[in-house]
């Protein structure tokens, strides 16, 4: 049985030996409550064992941790038959379009979405304002 298998009680199967996470920090796949699962999910995107890992988690009704690139909530949605997209990782330097202002920029990391901190912060503020407006309309 591999170290990964000993930690998580998974039988020694060929896909476990090929899994990228078998050589990575297990804490990443079981982040504390309230922390993002995105770092682990991005590692899973390129893993050769991703499909087998996800299949195992769904067959064994795994309710904790990231498996096959999906968080526990995403796996629940998959079980209900909903479509759930895997995260995609832009290549460093790949041209992207800012999700807020539409300006082109080059990715500096795998989760780049905004061209600057200014756009990121303003997008967050706009989302919060929309949420408040929706709540006001709902209350009226």
Same domain, 9 and 61: yes
Same domain, 58 and 126: no
Identify the pLDDT of residue 109: 64
Query: Which stretch of DSSP H or E encloses residue 73?
Result: helix 72-79
When pLDDT is averaged across residues 46-68 and rounded to a whole number, the result is 88
Please indicate, yes or no, whether residues 46 and 102 belong to a single structural domain of this protein. Answer: no
What average pLDDT does the segment 71-81 reach?
89
- 93-109: average pLDDT: 74
Residues 13 and 68 in one domain: yes
| Residue among 20, 51, 28, 48 nearest 2 (CA) | 20
Kindly state the DSSP code that residue 70 receives in the 8-state scheme.
B
Q: Which of 1-10, 32-41, 57-66, 114-123 has the least mean pLDDT?
A: 1-10
Total number of domains in the chain:
2
Domain interval for residue 118 = 95-139
Percent of the chain residues topping a pLDDT of 70: 82
Would you say residue 88 lies in a domain? no
Same domain, 8 and 75: yes
Band of residue 122 on the pLDDT scale cut at 50, 70, 90: confident
């Amino acid at each position: 049985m591999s170290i990964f298998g000993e930690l998580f009680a998974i039988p020694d199967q060929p896909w476990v030996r090929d899994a990228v996470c078998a050589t990575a920090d297990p804490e990443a796949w079981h982040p504390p409550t309230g922390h993002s699962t995105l770092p682990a999910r991005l590692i899973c995107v390129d893993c050769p064992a991703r499909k087998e890992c996800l299949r195992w988690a769904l067959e064994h009704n795994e309710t904790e941790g990231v498996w096959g690139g999906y968080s526990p909530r995403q796996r629940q949605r998959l079980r209900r038959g909903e479509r759930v997209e895997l995260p995609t990782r832009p290549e460093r330097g790949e041209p992207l379009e800012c999700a807020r202002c539409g300006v082109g920029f080059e990715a500096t990391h795998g989760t780049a979405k905004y061209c600057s901190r200014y756009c990121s912060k303003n997008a967050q503020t706009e989302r919060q304002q929309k949420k408040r407006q929706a709540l006001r309309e709902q209350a009226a």
